[in-house]
Chains A and B, each alone.
Chain A
């Protein structure tokens, strides 16, 4: 039962990441973030039920609140603030991006071998999903031109790291978890303000316009 739930949550995580890479709509990407956050919270709750760890329930609730609630809300406000609705000209064509995502999933599977070797628990076998999420988050970050899309990529990256933490180690100590979440929320808020300033200074939030500083 738990293996299936774990597999389902992991599958949803990966699927949402791939869809975010595929779709051009920014609001669609933010909605998928909500789904991703919910899947991550589900993952934490399943692991909490398996280990009987009450701290992990708290972490699951926190993840749900922050990753599926606060962060997507901030992002959608940023999207309206910078008048971004579609990612029209990504640096890499969606086809190539999708094929790269397939390649990155393979890489993630290979890279997760040390983890699987070290922790033979069932959860540890699903760690490649977390690492794939990290790599796909990187890909989204690198190939997007809109500021909000880069933010989405950053949050996907962070979701991936949280997934790895949950699957490989059953979560990190509560103090660290709280600190990390606080930091992520603050970074996103800071980037929101900067995106607003960019809108005022450049008249848009297209990052390809940032060419003033060069050697």
Chain B
């Protein structure tokens, strides 16, 4: 019985963690699907947004809603800067050059954030005062519920936008075939910019939820967000929106369970092992033969 309770508790924790990964992966996969380019500066842009919010919160004693707005707003601005400098010039050119350029801006954004706020740890206001939802022997933190609800809400909003609007048709056409989309009169440049802004906003939402549920902010946030987002996106198949959600949840579940049953050092190891094995097996949802 205790074993079963542990298992269910870990599954709940894993789903909450996975919801944050799913959000990160959604932003990543949107950009990848439309541009066929990996944006390594995705996490650092989120980090800059969270740092700006933490700074403003400290200086002006702002409420949570304002902090949320600042995180998302600055992330979108940083994303726009990355798009202009790394992706717009290489839209028809080299994917590798775009990716290395985004890595260069990763260094830049991270440096800007840590220069403005050089400490290794900053407090970030939490969403609640530590309440827990208890259901018999099971616990679920309020922030975990908020994370799951936010991930679900973003998925529904994104689904409505992509499957029930003209803009969504353009985006999905671009994901399927950029050249065919261009031939049918879609303004590829404009859609790309809008998708980049949308992806950055989702990243900003994810970043805000993550730092406010951890109630702290460290310089590792940038690299962490890029890595987790890429990993979750990859598990579900590049450029696939349902895949990003599934990949994020699977990643969260693996991490929660392997941490509990095998110890913290195996938490990341198992996730990477799964990715490597999956990639080697080339399952059908990973379109591994196409050259990105």
Tell whether A and B belong to one assembly.
no
B: residues with CB less than 8 A from A are none
